[in-house]
Structure 1
Amino acid sequence: MFSHIQKIHFVGIGGIGMSGIAEVLLTLGYKVSGSDAQKTTITRRLRRRGAKVYYGHQRENLKNPHVVVYSSAIAPSNPEIVEARRLDIPLVARAEMLAELMRLKYGIAIAGTHGKTTVTSLIANILTQGGLDPTFVVGGKVKSLRTNARLGKGDFLVAEADESDRSFMHLSPTIAVVTNIDPEHMEHYRDYDELKNIFKEFCLKIPFYGVAVLCVDHPAVAAIAASFPKRFLTYGIHTKADFMAHKIKLYPFKSSFELKINGKSAGQWRINLMGSHHIQNALAAIAVGNELGIPLSSIKKGLSQFKGIGRRLEPLYKNEHQKIYVIDDYGHHPVEIRETLNAIRQTWPQARLIVIFQPHRYTRTKALFSDFTKIFDGTNELFITQIYAAGEPPIHGVSAKKLADNIHSNSFNVHYRENLNDVVHDVRGLVKKNTIVVTFGAGDVNKVGKQLSKMMKEMPLQ
Structure 2
Amino acid sequence: MDVDFSKVKKIYFIGIKGSGMVALVEILARRGFGVTGSDTQEKFFTDDILKKKLFAKYYEGFDANHIMSDIDLVVYSTAYNKENNEEVKAAQYKMIPMISYPEMLGILFNRKYGIAVCGTHGKTTTTAMLAEIFREAGLDPTAVVGSQVRQWRSSALVGRSDFMIIEADEYQGKFRYYSPQAVILTSADWDHPDYFPTREEYKKTFIEFVQKIPRHGFLVVCGDRSETLEIAESAKCNVIKYGFGKDNDLRIKNYKLRGGKQYFDLWYGGKELGNFELELPGKHNVLNAAAAVAMSYKFNANLERIYEALSSFEGTSRRFEYIGERNGAILIDDYAHHPEEIQVTLRAAREFFPKRRVWCVFQPHTFTRTKALLSEFAQSFEDADRVIALDIYGSARETQGGVHSKDLVELAKKYHRNVEYIPTISEAVEYLADQIGREDLVIAMGAGNVWEVAEGLKSM
Q: Same fold (TM over 0.5)?
A: yes
Kindly report which structure 2 residues correspond to 1:435-454, keeping only aligned pairs within 5 A, or say none.
Answer: 435-454=440-459
Structure 2 CA distance, aligned partners of 1:140 and 1:257? 26
Contact kept, 8 Å, 2:365 with 2:395, in 1: the verdict is yes
Structure 1's unaligned 5+ residue stretches are 456-462
Identity percentage over the alignment? Answer: 36
1:265 partner amino acid = E
Q: In structure 2, what residue type is equivalent to 1:69?
A: V
1:416 Cα deviation after fit: 1.4
Aligned equivalent of 2:231:
224
Output the amino acid matched with 1:452.
L
For residues 91 and 296 of structure 1, the distance between their equivalents in structure 2, rounded to whole angstroms, comes to 44
- Pick from 282, 286, 304 the counterpart of residue 297 of structure 1: 304
| Counterpart-to-counterpart distance in 1, 2:243 and 2:313 | 20
* Alignment size in residue pairs: 453
Residues 387-433 of structure 1: per-residue CA shift (max 9 Å, x gap): 22232332253222332233214753222112212212222322234
Q: Residues 227 and 172 of structure 1: is their aligned pair in 2 closer, same or farther, counting only changes over 3 Å?
A: closer
Q: Deviations over 1:318-354 (max 9, x none)?
A: 69xx984221111011111111112222333443111
- What SS class does the counterpart of residue 247 from structure 2 fall into? coil
Q: In structure 2, do the counterparts of structure 1 residues 226 and 168 end up closer, same or farther at CA, with 3 Å as the change threshold?
A: closer
In structure 2, distance between residues paired with 1:309 and 1:250: 21
Secondary structure at the counterpart of residue 220 of structure 2: strand
**Structure-2 residue corresponding to 1:21:** 24
Q: 1:31 aligns with which of 34, 37, 55?
A: 34
Q: 1:316 aligns with which of 323, 336, 359?
A: 323
| Preserved contact between residue 321 and residue 334 of structure 2 (Cα < 8 Å) | yes
Q: Paired residue for 1:458? A: none
Flag the 1:387–1:253 CA change in 2: closer, same or farther, 3 A: farther
Q: Which moved more, 1:403-412 or 1:136-145?
A: 403-412
Amino acid at match of 2:25: A
Residue of structure 2 in register with 1:53 after alignment? 58
* 2:369 match: secondary structure: helix
Contact 2:368–2:401 at 8 Å: present in 1 too?
A: no
1:230–1:123 distance in 2 versus 1, CA, 3 Å = same
Mark the CA change 1:427 to 1:141 in structure 2 (over 3 Å): closer, same or farther: same
Q: Within 2, Cα distance between the matches of 1:323 and 1:218? A: 39
Aligned to 1:70: 76
1:372 aligns with 377
Q: Are the aligned partners of 2:337 and 2:445 in contact in 1 as well (CA < 8 Å)?
A: yes
Give the structure 1 partner of residue 417 of structure 2: 412
Q: Secondary structure at the match of 2:265?
A: strand
Question: 1: CA distance between counterparts of 2:282 and 2:138?
Answer: 28
Displacement after TM superposition at 1:252 (Å): 6.7
Q: Is the 8 A contact 1:250 1:275 kept in 2?
A: no
Structure 2 residue corresponding to 1:7, chosen from 7, 10, 32: 10
SS at match of 1:166: helix
Q: For residues 10-409 of structure 1, what are the structure 2 equivalents within 5 Å?
A: 10-38=13-41, 40-48=44-52, 49-64=54-69, 65-77=71-83, 78-238=85-245, 240-251=247-258, 254-317=261-324, 324-409=329-414
In 1, the alpha carbon distance for the partners of 2:260 and 2:433 equals 23
SS of match in other structure, 1:139: strand
SS of structure 2 residue aligned to 1:186:
coil
Runs of 4+ in 1 over 4 A off after TM superposition: none
When structure 1 is superposed on structure 2, of 392-401 and 238-247 the one drifting more is 392-401
CA 1:98–1:432: 2 relative to 1, 3 Å = same
- State the alpha-carbon separation in 2 of the partners of residues 22 and 373 from structure 1: 40
Deviations 1:175-204 (A, max 9, x none): 111110011112222522222122122112
Describe the superposition over 1:359-405 as per-residue Cα deviations: whole angstroms up to 9, x where unpaired: 11222222222221111123221111122223233225322233223
1: distance between equivalents of 2:208 and 2:319? 29
CA–CA distance in structure 2, aligned partners of residues 307 and 271 of structure 1: 9
Q: TM-score, normalised by structure 1?
A: 0.92
SS at match of 2:412: coil
Q: Which amino acid aligns with 2:49?
A: R
Report the more deviating stretch, 131-140 or 263-272.
Answer: 263-272
Answer whether contact 1:99 1:170 (CA < 8 A) is retained: yes
Question: Residues 323 and 250 of structure 1: is their aligned pair in 2 closer, same or farther, counting only changes over 3 Å?
Answer: farther
Deviation at 1:112, TM superposition (A): 0.5
1:47/1:61 Cα in 2 relative to 1: closer, same or farther (>3 Å)? farther
User: What is the TM-score when the length of structure 2 is the normalising length?
Assistant: 0.93
- Does the 8 A contact of 2:129 with 2:292 survive in 1? yes
Contact 2:210–2:232 under 8 Å retained in 1: no
The unaligned stretches of length 5 or more in structure 2 are none
Deviations 1:263-320 (A, max 9, x none): 332222101211111011000110111111111111111111211111101122369x
Q: Deviation at 1:41?
A: 4.7
